[in-house]
Amino acid sequence: MSAEGSYPLRGVRILELGQIIAGTYGSQVLSDLGAEVIKIEAPEGDLGRNPSVAPYRGASGLFLTFNRNKKSLVINLKTDAGREVFYELVKISDVVVDNFRPGVLERLQADYATLNRINPRIVHCSVTGFGTAGAYKNYPALDIIIQAISGHMAITGEPGRPPARIGVPLADLSGGIFSCKGILAALFARERTGRGARVEISMFDAMLNLLSYMGTMWLTNGELPQPPGSGHDYTVPWQAFSAKDGYVVVATREETFWRALCELLEDPELADDPRFDTNANRVKHKDVLVPHLEGIFRTRTVADWLERLRAAGVPAAPVNHFDRAFAEPPVAEREMIVEYDHPDVGTVRLPGNPIKVAGMSGTISNPAPRLGEHTDALLRELLSLTPERIAELRQQGAIK
């Protein structure tokens, strides 16, 4: 099998109307698996191109990250001629992705009902904040808004401190995480039925889902968790401890780990103390146990503790910042840094694809496109438009 043919989504064409993160991350993941992703941008471009967001040499680091491997085709969907070009592309594509506010697709005449008439096999995925109907459909869906309203900020941070946002834009990313799953499911179903489907992702829904067992405990048992910091409501010790020169995380999920920890701490009597002899008792008496452990961990360096903890088989890790995280052995072993050369900013290095498929020839990493960079080439190659017709469309304001 050729390198090109080894990608599982080779031959799948995605038209991306998405912007910033929620509407772009999912198709970027799919591009890593071989899908052809064409960004259909308005004349002013994706809002994620704003160079003040993660600025890097006059460009947006956000845009450089989430638009790797994509091609940019500028179409003005507010013009009749522009819509006709878009419709011709829909006829020969598999997926359309957007993250417009409710009602925008209908105004642009790019809603699923319209696209399905043009191509009954099309999969149309919309990422919204709160869904396309209901009381909150028009609420702004910025990442921090969704993190706050979904309950995540209430359980993030240290006890007794103000609510904290998760360090990455998880609400925005959740749109991409779940949209690519929905798209793959719809494409799989199409193999059986021959018909496309409408996929709708609400970021609010996604974040509620990511509350996982903590959501279950509230819904089932009425438990309202408090921000645990690095700790854990149900397991002790399971947190970061301050060492001489940094922090080390210890997670004693099983009793064997707890007893091994007590031995290496040279405090074996802890293991049999009736206050700490079971995890349930350690949770009950954590206000006594944790300060005792904190005093011990402050006596050695992170490296010293890691050597001892790992030798004893106790789950442990350093609290790395990015410089150390990207220097850990699995990064190189699993090719988790990729790079490309961008014509405007030079070499861009970025996190790689975590999905490893047997036989796949590594991560595709082509530059994020300039605005409209591929417009003429795609119209020639995909729609067989002549230079004269392309010039006419440009003069009409349909393309750029």
- 342 annotated active-site: no
* Structure tokens given for 171: 């609400």
The partner residues of 71 in beta bridges, in order of sequence, read 38
Rounded to an integer, what distance in angstroms lies between the CA atom of residue 226 and that of residue 284? 15
Torsion 157-158-159-164 (CA) sign: negative
DSSP 69-88: T-EEEEB-TTSHHHHHHHHH
The CA radius of gyration of the chain, in Å to the nearest whole number, is 25
Sorted by sequence, the CB contacts under 8 Å of residue 311 that are 6+ apart come out as 264
Helix (H) or strand (E) holding 175: helix 170-193
Rounded to an integer, what distance in angstroms lies between the CA atom of residue 261 and that of residue 189? 50
Cα separations in angstroms, 118 against 47, 50, 84, 109, 113: 28, 34, 11, 12, 9
Given a contact cutoff of 8 angstroms between Cβ atoms, the answer to whether 110 and 86 are in contact is yes
Given a contact cutoff of 8 angstroms between Cβ atoms, the answer to whether 74 and 400 are in contact is yes
Rounded to an integer, what distance in angstroms lies between the CA atom of residue 118 and that of residue 284? 63
Dihedrals phi, psi of 59, to nearest 5 degrees: -120, 170
* Secondary structure in 3-state letters for 96-117: EEECCCCCHHHHHCCCHHHHHH
Instruction: Residue 385: name the closest of 39, 17, 70, 81 by CA.
Output: 81
Choosing from 232, 285, 321, 374, the catalytic residue is 232
Encoded amino acid at 22, one letter: A
Helix (DSSP H) and strand (DSSP E) numbers for the chain: 18, 13
Instruction: Residue 119: name the closest of 145, 92, 146, 99 by CA.
Output: 92
Instruction: Residue 40: name the closest of 22, 13, 3 by CA.
Output: 13
Instruction: Residue 108: name the closest of 141, 140, 86, 138 by CA.
Output: 86
Active site residues: 232
